[in-house]
Structure 1
């Protein structure tokens, strides 16, 4: 057995998947642009619309929560545009996993795919547990009491009882997804329409009781004790608006499930970009509308952070509206559950088809045209987690997976936009690399108009350097916010240096020649919009607590063991190379062997 050297390992890590967009998929192409838009809205506009506006307005931003939502929507839209370009460029199931496999190589692709599996499993489990809790609350926690008396669990870090309702709902939804994408899409459309109808009802009904004077109220407090801000439109100041935007950003997570439908959309090059932009726009309008109504009907400091709508209707004397809002919340949770569970088997299918995880998980059922075993096994894992775990400490793991995927997709957009052109100026690739030639290459002194292999490699290096600088800059901002606000020079000086470095790297990328590939949809203002997306996502990752990173690290160690002991040898690229090598060796043996008569 030959020992692998550094060059061999690097070759394995960077081997890239070739996409043949003309090939037919085994999955059924049955989803229209409307289906994809409804899927994006349903997976994004979940229970957050019933909780987030109230909690952020009371504790973080005040009535300025509408600005926080606008900032979060802008950040999400930038990430959505990056996904839209890749959805049009690489119309295959697997979302960020496939995108990174095409551009970054196999190792990064596996890391992203494994991260996405974690994100969707935890996201689905948390949604179904939330659905169970919400339904149980309507019936005075009768399910919880029954489950506790039947099978009490006394183990730390686990739920105090097995939630059989959550497990059953998960299996039911998994079966619905396994037995047909079109049928599950129809159910999602119904849930989404009901959810949006209730949101519209809340906005219209609340408008009759709205009073703009509530944007200028002041909470009862003293100079020594004023925990609820100083009143007015922005009682917590600019810092509160930015902090609120970081929280509101998580209310837009979920649109990326649209990008996983590349092999089931009828016209993915057009449908995916339209669906992503349309769903994010609708979700922002919903968040904006409910935020305005909540803060105009009641002062921000009187909001209920856990159930703002029922509290609102209690205050205005509309008891009957409670049940209507509850119905909308249940529909929203069901829609979120479908949206969270839908992309999970698609990512498993994509990774299993490529041989990076077990092949049987990606086998497509000939009758239902879905990855049946992958869907059911993912549903079983999600159901078990939802039944036995309290997921409060694990919700952040969903966020870290999403933000990492967003960052990788934005980086892939940059790298592909500057990839080697089909008509490239090959003479520049043979230039001797001296300090002078490297400087000329960095500033494109030769005014090269077509991207070369050398310029493409330079952009890849610059993107990696930009990512590292973002980590350094955002970690300082997250760790020393108080010192930065006080203008402490010991932290201001390195901050200025990092800002100058970030701008310089971006400017160098901007000067490089771009690829001439024509796209049906492309991100505008490259490299600046994808770079801004990377900066925002890395900052939000730096805001997560240390235990989230520890749990994430444990999950990644498990994944790396699977990759090194299974994926490296069973990867389709590796298998094809071995097969081609065997064919060549057999051919040589047949030519060289003596002929007997």
Structure 2
């Protein structure tokens, strides 16, 4: 019995190591392989199966786009960037970032017309530069979503503590001994927020779109309130005092735009 099993295993291991030895060749062959827009579109449709029923209206799509652009990160990072990176020239950083976002949106518009599939940047780059570049971009986008959402969720705990008059947000977090200092605070409130929003998004496209529409409207109203209040209560002397408009120079302005 043992002899027969060993005999059967030999071809398996031989084929396995033979396939493994061909990995560099296959990688070189596939990493630069590209798809035409028609091939990409037909391939996605074939995998998707029957067309889903379209329930989203034009205002739902507009709210999704606006909600994606007006991220809550602006409430988290603006003060820190203005204080430590740009100084009063933070508004110039916003202008630079806005121009960059406009150019990026024009590129996305052109790609979405030529390749009307749901793959986004992954599909666009795979069609243009090959599968390896598409995979690399997709992995980076996924990591960006995970890290940014985690940071925003932790900031939600800080704002919640501030609303309840708690000065130290770490008092609402659980300290785990044995982990590195600064990484040993577990934020279960942030985890609960992420899980709640994930369940809402997974429940129904229509309901989650309605929630996004409501939150986007509040977002726009709040932005408008901040802009009007800033113009009304602002002081132009703050733009040049105490260290000038751009105390950190051009590099600080560009770093602020990147953030």
After TM superposition, the score normalised by the length of structure 2 is 0.74
**Structure 2 CA distance, aligned partners of 1:66 and 1:30?**
39
* Match status 1:169 vs 2:203: no
Cα offset for 1:86? 1.4
Match of 1:101 in 2: 126
Cα shift at 1:194: 0.8
Q: Does 1:68 align with 2:90?
A: no
Q: Deviations over 1:1-36 (max 9, x none)?
A: 455386654322233342236948555543344333
Q: Is the 8 A contact 1:69 1:248 kept in 2?
A: yes
Q: How does 1:520-539 map to 2 (within 5 A)?
A: none
Distance in 2, Cα, partners of 1:214 & 1:146 = 36
Alignment match, 1:19: 40
Structure 1 residue 104, shift from structure 2 partner: 2.2
1:199 to 223, 236, 244: 223
- Structure 1 unaligned regions, length at least 5: 220-228, 251-597
Residues 147 and 68 (structure 1 numbering): CA distance in 2 closer, same or farther, change over 3 Å? closer
Q: Which residue of 2 aligns with 1:452?
A: none
**Aligned residue in 2 for 1:45:** 70
Give distance in 1, aligned partners of 2:109 and 2:191. 34
Q: 1:114 matched to which residue of 2?
A: 139
Map 1:317-396 onto structure 2 (within 5 A): none
Mapping of 1:420-569 within 5 angstroms? none
Query: 1:65 is paired with a residue of what secondary structure?
Result: helix
User: Following superposition of structure 1 onto structure 2, how do residues 195-234 of structure 1 map, counting pairs within 5 Å?
Assistant: 195-216=219-240, 218-219=241-242, 229=243, 231=244, 234=245
With over 3 angstroms needed to count, the CA separation of the structure-2 counterparts of 1:210 and 1:120, relative to structure 1, is closer
For the pair 1:4 / 2:22, whether they are aligned, the reply is yes
What's the C-alpha RMSD, in Å, of the aligned pairs?
A: 3.0
Alignment of 1:210-289 (within 5 A): 210-216=234-240, 218-219=241-242, 229=243, 231=244, 234-236=245-247, 240-250=249-259
Unaligned 5+ segments in structure 2 are: 1-14
Q: CA deviation at 1:117?
A: 1.8
Structure 1 residues 202 and 170: CA distance shift in structure 2, 3 A: same
Which residue matches 2:109? 84
Provide the C-alpha distance between the structure 1 equivalents of 2:141 and 2:230, rounded to a whole number of angstroms. Answer: 38
Partner of 1:145: 171
User: Could you list the per-position Cα deviations for residues 373-427 of structure 1 after superposition, in whole angstroms to 9, with x for gaps in the alignment?
Assistant: xxxxxxxxxxxxxxxxxxxxxxxxxxxxxxxxxxxxxxxxxxxxxxxxxxxxxxx
Q: Is the contact made by 1:16 and 1:101 (CA closer than 8 Å) also made in structure 2? A: yes
Cα deviation for residue 195 of structure 1 reads 1.6
Alignment length, in residue pairs?
233
The answer on whether the counterparts of 2:172 and 2:187 sit within 8 Å (CA) in structure 1 is no
Distance 1:12 1:63 in 2: 49
* SS of residue paired to 1:64: helix
Q: TM-score, normalised by structure 1?
A: 0.35
